[in-house]
Structures are given as C-alpha cells and as structure tokens.
Structure 1
Amino acid sequence: MSHTLHSYSERVLVLAPHGRDAAVAADILHAARIATEICPDLPALVREIEHGAGFALVTDEAFRTADLKEVSRWLSDQPPWSDFAFVLLTRRGGGVERNPALARLSELLGNVIFLERPFHAGTLVSVARSALRGRLRQYEARARLEDLHEGEERLKAALDKERRAAEHQRVLINELNHRVKNTLATVQSISAQTLRTAETQADAREALEMRLLALSRAHDVLTRESWEGADLVEVVSNALKPYESSGESRFRIKGPHVRVTPRMSLALAMALHELATNAVKYGALSNKTGTIQVSWELQNGTAPPRLTLRWMEAGGPPVAAPSRRGFGSRLIERTLAQDLDGQVAIAFPPTGIVCTVEAPVA
C-alpha cells in the first residue's frame, strides 16, 4: 500500500463528560492495548477526529443537547472511502427502538453502534476491536484507491508522452520531407547551372563536387543543431574552412553570435562558397598577399531584427566588373536574395569584390 498509517489513525476517542464513564472505558481499552484518548468536550472531539482516529466512543447525553453542526459537517465532508463509526453508550432500557432522540442521532451519525451501560469489559473490547477492524478496511480501501489514482496518473502521463512523441515524429517527418525536397531542388539547380556554364567536363565535375561539398558542410552544422538553426559564426567559419591556408589565416571574420534559420544558414553557406571560389581563381586568394574580411552586424531596432553581412576583398589583383555574370554571381544576387527575403549587392571596385547582404533574421 502506498499510504502509511499515522499513529493517530487507530486510536479510540472517548467523549463522556459526566461521571466516570470516560475513565472506566479508557482503563479497559488501555488494558487491551488499544490506544485511547479522552476528549473534554465536543469541539475537542471534532478536532481530534480531523487529526485521525479509529472510532469515537460517546455517551448519548454528550450528544443529546449539544450543537452537532460541526460533527455533521465533518461527516458530510469525509472522503468516499471513509465511514467513521460512533459507539454510542446508552442507558439501560434506552434502546433506539424506544428512544426517538437516539433514532435521530443514528440518522445523523450514520455508522452507529449502540452499547448499553453498564457494559461488560469484554463486550467493550470486542466492540472496539470490531470497529477498528472496519476502520482498517477503510484505510486499505483508501490505499488501493490512491494506488489506482497514481497508476491512472502514470498511465495518463505515459499516454500523453506517447501522443507528444507521435506528434513530434509526425512534424519531424513532414519537416524532413520538406527539407529533402528543398535540398533536391537546390542540387538540381546547382547541377543544371554548373553543367550549362562550365567550359569543360572536368571543370563541370570539379565545380559540381565543390558546390555539393559546401552544401554538405552546411547540412552538417544544422544537423548538429537538430535543424533548429545555427550560429552565424559557425556557419561562416565552416563555409570558409576549406579555403584556409595551412599555417596562416587569410580571412578576418568579425561579428556577434547570431542564431539564423536553417534556410538562411544554407543560403549564406552556398554564397560564401561561391565568393571564396571566385577569390581563389581571380581575387584576393589567387596570390599570397590578399585578405578577405567577412563582418556582420545586427540591427535590433527593427521587427524582426535585420542582419547586414559584408564580404570585402583586399590585396588581390586589380578587379574589373565582368562582362557576363556567371552562375556564382546569379546564385548570390538572385537566389540568395530570394531565399533570405532580403537584398544582395555585388560591387567590383579595383581593390577587390565587395558583397553586401541585408536580410531579416526571423
């Protein structure tokens, strides 16, 4: 059983304010090793019942003219498992069948055992033990009800957990399907544009492989974050890591920690890859002295906050605007702007390419 009985739960409460009935009954019960406590008046009896008791032994005269409102209230409020018993000591010849007052008490108190005075010690002990056994059965019923209630609560919690898990799994599956479709669309677009713009098959294979690896690295960052977004510092660092030279850093990365959405993470990673690839071929990374600064700042005064990211090359060969925009430029200026719901601009000053991205962070 889950409930431990309190030491008060099996005691007998005695209310017999007149004569020696209380003392006599207490002595008999104590001799039978039954815990007993004498209450001086009716309010004390009600207080002790509230603390816990096996049953109450009361003389009929203690109830005859008393205000039983508090007793009635407690009996009405007792829990469903409880049926508290009263052993009512009556006068000889004053049985309930001939005494209307006792009949009314029986109706009020409910579980009543009548015992005529003077009583035999053995009879009192027998009645007391019978009443206590009945009370113990009630406590056992209470414990079973509590166990059933706890089991029901555990079952409800388990079912609710399973329901939430199933719902979460459904959301994850839907999200996974959405991401797979988006990734396949991205791969299809990258493949088509790469094959269309590459001059040779070898160039196409190399460019396609590098772009797919860039996409894979961006996916790795998001996977570690359970696809709930990523830190922009990590997105930028991972995208540019393959272009770092051994023993030296050609990149200057500067900006606060900002959580960006999965869509923004992928778009920025692909754009940074295209910019870095172009820098290796024609820009700041094509010689030994060029450097690239990638910086960003967050404007919190708007709703949602807006991110401004800037790519600036310096120290490379002189730059001139190309006569024809390649796939990399189109991917950055059009696709990136569309994916980010923002604005992207690429400038070609002689000192090196400058790319500015402005987009909401939501």
Structure 2
Amino acid sequence: MNITAAPRPDYSGLTTEEMEIGLQVAKVGLGRTDYAAQTVRLDPLAAEIFGLPAGEDIPRDVFHERIHPDDRTEFAVAIEHLLSPHGSDVVDLTLRTFDQDGKLRWVNARKRVFYGPEDNRSAPVSAILAVVDVTSRQLAELHSEVLIGELNHRTKNLITVVASIARQLRRHSTPEDFPDRFIDRLQALARNQEATARETPHGFDLKEIISQQITPFDGKGRARLDLHGPRVEMSSQSAHVLAMMCHELLTNAAKYGALSGDGRISITWRIEGDDLRLEWIESGGPPVSQPERTGYGTQVVTVLGAASFGADIKLDYPPEGFRLSLVAPLEAFAPESSVVP
C-alpha cells in the first residue's frame, strides 16, 4: 500500500477528447464516489473490471463486496487514513477483486478525495477513482516468485546430491581413482539437469530421462540399447533418481557387461495396475557373475531406488548377462501437480 500526495499534472494543450483517448489507450477505468449518497458510479471499463453496471449509482457497500476478503482489511485501513483529518487526499492500492462471474483479478486503484468549499476534511464530498487491470503483471510476478523458489529448492537438493556422491565415492575409491570417478558422476548429474530443465506442465518423460543418460555411451554402441514402453510422467525428484540409477547401470555395462563387448541391452517398462514394472536385460556380452562386494553403483541402484520409489528391486547375474527388475507404485513417479491428496 502506498499513500502519497501526487503532483498535479499539467494537461494544458490537450483537448477533452484527446484526454479521453489517452485514458482508453492506457486502459484506465474511472469512477466517482458520492459520499453524501454513499454511492459509486463507474464508466464502462471500470464497470467491466469490477463486474458491475456502468453509469448507474451503486451502493458503496455493494462495490466494496467485489474486493477479495483477504484484502478488505488493508483496503479499510487505507480508506480510513484517506478520510482522516491528517491523512493524504490520495490513495494508491493494488488489490484483488472479483467480477460478476467470480473471476479473480488484480487491480491497481488510485483515489483522490474532494472536500467542501472550506476544505473541511471531516466532511468529504466526492472522490475520483482510477483503476487499471494489472492481473497479467501480478501473475507474471507470482510465476517469477515460484520459479525462484523452485530454483532455490533444486539448488539445495543438488548440493545435497553432490555431497552424497562425494562421500560415497570416497568410501569406495582409491585416492588415485577418486577425481576421475567424481567428475564422471558430476557430468552425469549435469546431463540429468539438462534433461529435467525441459520440464513440461505434465512433468518429465521417463524415456527421455533414460535416453539422456545413454548419450555418453555412443562410442560403446548406443544402437545396441533398445528402449520400449509407454509414456510415463515423472516428477523432478523421481527423474533425478532414475537418471542416477541409469548412469550407474550403464557404467557397469560399459566396464563389465554387455557394452564392454558386442552385447545388447533391452530396457522395457510397462504399467501393471497401479504399479510400474521396469526390466533391464543385458545379453551377448562377456559372462557375468555375482560381484564379491557391494560398490557405490549398486548402492545407488538398490538403496536409493528403494527409498525413493518404495520399489522392489531385484538384481540377477546369470552368465548370459546382468538383469534388473524394478516394481514400484506408479504414483511414486508422478509429477507433484498430478498427485491427488
């Protein structure tokens, strides 16, 4: 709320018609308050903004009912100050209103009060109201605030993920291997950020998230990876987790599995009732066997996947190739906006 004494503009040289055109161009609606009759009269544009009839005397209390309930206290305080003996004669407010269909609008309203010949501030006579619909501007500002909040949230999450990667790699790497392995994970995370930056109103696409992680393995035979499954919309958080899991699985395949030889990887998923079932099957590579110890990659795939999705994850190591089976509630992947409480 801004209550100020406005300088008087000089309209000399402009005709009445030119000033009216100027108001139309600026989309300024006008109204007049009659304090003796306790009525408000609006021009067509102001009447459209408030959803009230134009050119008719409207009771002030009916006019004030158009103001959003949460903004009425601020409005009442501003008007009280405006009409007080020591208050300013001009008020400038941005508040929410409803039109006749209940549609919410943001309106910037400026009002100037006029008194009797003796300027007795205890007896206001009339006021001129100028209103501008600023809904688009307010929505843009709200959208910006949401984006900034989301950016802060994701940045904090990203820092947490990086710290976790560093701690886990330190436990499972030699000092000599740590820098390269850490950079490799950060690059995977960067690819994940790039994929999730293209979020749509429907969230992220599971296939796109997996495809993005395949990119660094072009030289390992990208054409030997087959992806099949329906569109599955994912939240930002679930997309990050799935991308990290895929990167670890692909890294393992390039080192020890199908991508280290002439093999293939089949990645399929399907919806079964309320669950998502995803299967990762490697074939045609060198013989595989159960690893002797659990490394960082296995922990990412099993522990993080189970905790994030509530998933049942099974790892199998038949000689013909590594296999993974993941079954999780479909709602664990869903974008936040599509989850019904």
Equivalence for 2:311: 342
Alignment counterpart, residue 168 of structure 1, candidates 143, 157, 160: 143
Structure 1 residues 313, 219: CA separation in 2 closer, same or farther (over 3 Å shift)?
same
Could you tell me how far apart the structure 2 residues matched to 1:221 and 1:248 are? 18
Structure 1 residues 200, 282: CA separation in 2 closer, same or farther (over 3 Å shift)?
farther
Equivalence for 1:217: 191
Give the secondary-structure state (helix, strand or coil) at the position aligned to 2:259.
Answer: coil
Stretch of structure 1 that moved more, 269-278 or 162-171: 162-171
Does the Cα contact within 8 Å between 1:222 and 1:228 map onto a contact in 2? Answer: no
Does the Cα contact within 8 Å between 1:252 and 1:294 map onto a contact in 2? Answer: yes
Corresponding letter in the other structure for 2:269: W
Could you tell me how far apart the structure 2 residues matched to 1:352 and 1:322 are? 13
Could you tell me how far apart the structure 2 residues matched to 1:176 and 1:252 are? 34
Structure 1 residues 179, 308: CA separation in 2 closer, same or farther (over 3 Å shift)?
same
Equivalence for 1:188: 163
Could you tell me how far apart the structure 1 residues matched to 2:221 and 2:306 are? 35
Stretch of structure 1 that moved more, 256-265 or 219-228: 219-228
Task: Give, in angstroms, the shift of residue 226 of structure 1.
Answer: 5.5
Does the Cα contact within 8 Å between 1:229 and 1:265 map onto a contact in 2? Answer: no
Could you tell me how far apart the structure 2 residues matched to 1:173 and 1:165 are? 12
Equivalence for 1:295: 268
1:280 aligns with 2:254: yes
Task: Give, in angstroms, the shift of residue 277 of structure 1.
Answer: 0.6
Could you tell me how far apart the structure 2 residues matched to 1:283 and 1:267 are? 22
Could you tell me how far apart the structure 2 residues matched to 1:317 and 1:294 are? 19
1:330 aligns with 2:228: no
Structure 1 residues 331, 264: CA separation in 2 closer, same or farther (over 3 Å shift)?
same
The 5 A counterparts of 1:123-272 are 145-150=43-48, 156=107, 158-201=133-176, 203-225=177-199, 229-245=203-219, 249-272=223-246
Could you tell me how far apart the structure 2 residues matched to 1:323 and 1:199 are? 18
User: Sequence identity of aligned pairs in percent?
Assistant: 36
Does the Cα contact within 8 Å between 1:221 and 1:235 map onto a contact in 2? Answer: yes
Task: Give, in angstroms, the shift of residue 271 of structure 1.
Answer: 0.6
Equivalence for 2:94: none
TM-score, length-scaled by structure 1: 0.55
Task: Give, in angstroms, the shift of residue 274 of structure 1.
Answer: 0.4
Does the Cα contact within 8 Å between 1:232 and 1:260 map onto a contact in 2? Answer: yes
Could you tell me how far apart the structure 1 residues matched to 2:46 and 2:201 are? 41
Corresponding letter in the other structure for 2:136: K
Q: What's the RMSD between the two structures over aligned residues?
A: 3.0
Structure 1 residues 327, 318: CA separation in 2 closer, same or farther (over 3 Å shift)?
same
Structure 1 residues 147, 200: CA separation in 2 closer, same or farther (over 3 Å shift)?
closer
Tell me the alpha carbon deviations over residues 199-239 of structure 1, each in whole angstroms, 9 at most, x when there is no partner: 242x2122111111111111111112258621111111111
Corresponding letter in the other structure for 1:355: L
Task: Give, in angstroms, the shift of residue 160 of structure 1.
Answer: 3.2
Structure 1 residues 298, 172: CA separation in 2 closer, same or farther (over 3 Å shift)?
same
Structure 1 unaligned segments of length 5 or more: list them: 3-141
Query: Structure 1: which 4+ aligned runs deviate by more than 6 Å?
Result: 151-155
Corresponding letter in the other structure for 1:328: G
Structure 1 residues 147, 330: CA separation in 2 closer, same or farther (over 3 Å shift)?
closer
Could you tell me how far apart the structure 1 residues matched to 2:150 and 2:302 are? 27
Task: Give, in angstroms, the shift of residue 147 of structure 1.
Answer: 4.2
Corresponding letter in the other structure for 2:168: Q
Which structure is higher in helix share? 1
Tell me the alpha carbon deviations over residues 118-177 of structure 1, each in whole angstroms, 9 at most, x when there is no partner: xxxxxxxxxxxxxxxxxxxxxxxx9x8224435767973843333333333333333222
Structure 1 residues 227, 278: CA separation in 2 closer, same or farther (over 3 Å shift)?
farther
Structure 1 residues 182, 148: CA separation in 2 closer, same or farther (over 3 Å shift)?
closer
Task: Give, in angstroms, the shift of residue 330 of structure 1.
Answer: 0.7
Could you tell me how far apart the structure 2 residues matched to 1:190 and 1:298 are? 31
Structure 1 residues 181, 276: CA separation in 2 closer, same or farther (over 3 Å shift)?
same
Equivalence for 1:85: none
Structure 1 residues 155, 312: CA separation in 2 closer, same or farther (over 3 Å shift)?
closer
Could you tell me how far apart the structure 1 residues matched to 2:106 and 2:154 are? 35
Does the Cα contact within 8 Å between 1:244 and 1:250 map onto a contact in 2? Answer: no
